[in-house]
Amino acid sequence: MKKMLMAAGVAFVLGAWTNVSALGVQANGNPFLAEYTTPFKVPPFDKIKLEHYKEAFLKGMEEQAQEINAIVKQRSAATFENTIVALDQSGKLLSKVSAVFYGQNSANTSDEMQAISRELSPLLSKHRDDIKLNAGLFQRVKFVYDQKSKLNLTKEQAKLLEETYKDFVRGGANLDAAKQAKLRELNSELSMLELTFGQNMLKETNDFQLIIDKKEDLSGLPASLIASAADAAKAAKLEGKWLFTLHNPSVMPFLQYADNRALREKIYNGYINRGNNGNKSDNKEVVKKLVTLRLEKAKLMGYKDYASFMLEDRMAKTPEKVYALLDEVWTPALAKAKDELADIKAEIKKEGGNFEPEGWDWRYYFEKAKIAKFNLDENEVRPYLELNNVRDGAFYVANKLYGITFTEIKDIPTPHEEATAFECKDKDGTHLGVLYMDFFPRESKRGGAWCGGYRSQTYENGKRLAPVVTIVCNFSKPAGDQPALLSADEASTLFHEFGHGLHSLFRDVHYFGVASVPRDFVELPSQIMEHWVFEPEVLKVYAKHYKTGEVIPAALIEKLEKSGKYGQGFATVEYLAASLLDMDYHVLKEVPANLDAMEFEANVMNKRGLLKQIPPRYRSTYFNHTMGGGYTAGYYSYIWAEVLDADAFEAFKETGDIFNQDKAIKFRNNVLTPGAIDDAMDMYKNFRGKEPGTAPLLKNRGLM
């Protein structure tokens, strides 16, 4: 029953029922209602029309309702096969359309798609609840669960049974009728609020424009950014001007390089006030309702707060353990950030400035401080980080570690005209899956970067059905006659998302219900890949000047190595601030009736001594990770997983070979392949031979 569909980096669990027999659903011409005939059976994106989605969703829910009814009504006593497996394998059409719809709604949305998602939200919420609160179905699941010690199940089967039973209990199956009715109401409201939050955030991001019409106001900006802004202005019918937006490839380098302080302030305030503008897209009231209803749900389920409910089946288990890690890193990170602030003040003084630095000054003067300390300008590095070369560098690392290959596929449907497709083959030539890559920002794409999927790995008739994986980013576009040149951060992001992609491609499980690892383990496969991106041995393979083909000079690599930990105070503090904010909302035992999200945020940040120049990486009104539902009480997961990935990479380095085959095989077999068949920490110990400590993380960030 539990179909884990990776969309927007979030695992969607879809289930259950609505009556659509009277709606006249027709299969004619709807690609979802027939078997795909495309290469590798990828979705026929070019044939899918908006009207196909709702039709397939309704039909999919109807089909699964019939499957659930058949499980419940059968006369045979409940068994693992006729109940647990049948439930796990139900809803295939619903999973099929959901994977495409939610993937496209994140990467290539429209007003019409967003309207469909709002229309479907209450139906799908009811749909999930109709399965989890089906008394007859739960009775059969519990019957099998109570006999688990007698069933002689494999490890994978035993884990599926455990997860299925737990899913029902956490879904409210043990509540009385009145509480179940209330739970349905809360789930429906929460689903719609989370959807609304994300749609508001996208609109706020797209609505802001900084239009420059004086050439002198471009002072300090790299030529590539100026060219991109000119292209954006031309596309917006503002020829002869320059258009800057709140998409990261535009706003971040503007803050880093623009000499005009007033314009830096304007775009900075636009960025940090998304969802906080008192307009139709304002998210403050949405945040208040989300936090309030989540707490109400947690208490209904018997928990003291929502974080306790969410953390129960993750590695951390309790809020106390999350705070212990965050607080351990916060103190040295804040001290490091204060050192960096002193450097920034020195740069301001050096220029003759007599003002206290603000948030819109940090990146600008930090860049100057880095140049002064290390003689390194990021624009020296960009020419060596051409997008296709960085991508090929990620492919190279995967090949060296695991022997796998990636070959571009030309004649295949793609989710967007800018997306490219690759076939991934194992060392022996076996097909592992299809990987899409969609790299550039557009108004129809939400911000950030993520790895999702248009089909999850599974088995059909005893044969492995390979996944269809997608990596979606918002990188700097080609501008003028210059190709897409990445920043160091963007190169790391590509390797990060590629790590998620490898996790999906290598996964080999027989049941959907054991496919997805805990939220605070899922970043291990992605973050460990970041360790290879700037290793000198790897840079020499892919970092080639886009004009001359010259390999990145050893002197520049040395500068990168020396400066690599500079700036970790800011980076760590802004991340931890967001993680703490997420937790602080969700450990509330009572939510004040007059809760103001921005006041709450200011209070909890001030108590911890957050520097005024460093806002949380995501402020309350655009914190889609937590308010959108994917990382609720879970944004800490990145630093939790970094404890694992920093220690895991040490395992490679200790051998003297960052491509050590023994370690690579153990990592693939114990971490990347088994899904969630084993406990997360057991998987890690099976690879490493011990539990990790925090020392490698602190060392990696330059905090010890």
pLDDT in tens, 138-187: 999 999 999 999 999 999 999 999 999 999 999 999 999 999 999 999 99
Mean pLDDT of 332-354: 97
* Chain mean pLDDT for the chain: 94
Is the pLDDT at 15 greater than 90? The verdict is: no
Mean pLDDT of 594-612: 97
pLDDT, position 257 = 97
Mean pLDDT of 59-80: 98
Asked if residues 88 and 456 have their Cβ atoms less than 8 Å apart, the reply is no
Compute CA distances 33 → 8, 48, 53, 63, 93, whole Å. Answer: 24, 11, 10, 11, 8
Asked if residues 234 and 285 have their Cβ atoms less than 8 Å apart, the reply is no
Confidence of residue 577 (pLDDT cuts 50, 70, 90): very high
pLDDT, position 556 = 94
Domains of the chain: which residue ranges?
3-132+134-170, 208-272
pLDDT, position 26 = 42
Confidence of residue 28 (pLDDT cuts 50, 70, 90): low
Q: How far is CA 168 from the centre of its chain?
A: 26
Which residue from 577, 579, 540, 582 is spatially nearest to 557, judged by alpha carbons? 540
pLDDT, position 112 = 97
Asked if residues 14 and 95 have their Cβ atoms less than 8 Å apart, the reply is yes
> According to the 3-state scheme, what is the secondary structure of 241-303?
CEEECCCHHHHHHHHHHCCCHHHHHHHHHHHHCCCCCCCCCCCHHHHHHHHHHHHHHHHHCCC
Is the pLDDT at 21 greater than 50? The verdict is: no
Is the pLDDT at 1 greater than 60? The verdict is: no
pLDDT above 90: percentage of residues in the chain = 94
pLDDT, position 480 = 82
Query: Which active-site residues does the annotation give?
Result: 497
Please tell me the total number of residues recorded for the chain in this structure: 704
Mean pLDDT of 486-513: 97
Is the pLDDT at 612 greater than 60? The verdict is: yes
Mean pLDDT of 471-476: 96
Is the pLDDT at 25 greater than 50? The verdict is: no
pLDDT above 70: percentage of residues in the chain = 96
CATH topology of domain 3-132+134-170: Neurolysin; domain 3 (1.10.1370)
Is the pLDDT at 20 greater than 90? The verdict is: no
| Euclidean distance between CA atoms 244 and 225, whole angstroms | 9
Which residue from 663, 248, 163, 154 is spatially nearest to 445, judged by alpha carbons? 248
| Euclidean distance between CA atoms 630 and 194, whole angstroms | 10
pLDDT, position 23 = 34
Confidence of residue 6 (pLDDT cuts 50, 70, 90): very low
Which residue from 681, 306, 690 is spatially nearest to 517, judged by alpha carbons? 681
Confidence of residue 597 (pLDDT cuts 50, 70, 90): very high
Is the pLDDT at 31 greater than 80? The verdict is: yes
pLDDT in tens, 93-114: 999 999 999 999 999 999 999 9
| Euclidean distance between CA atoms 576 and 672, whole angstroms | 27
pTM, two decimals, is 0.94
Which residue from 526, 527, 519 is spatially nearest to 631, judged by alpha carbons? 519
Mean pLDDT of 364-388: 95
Mean pLDDT of 20-40: 72
Mean pLDDT of 190-201: 97
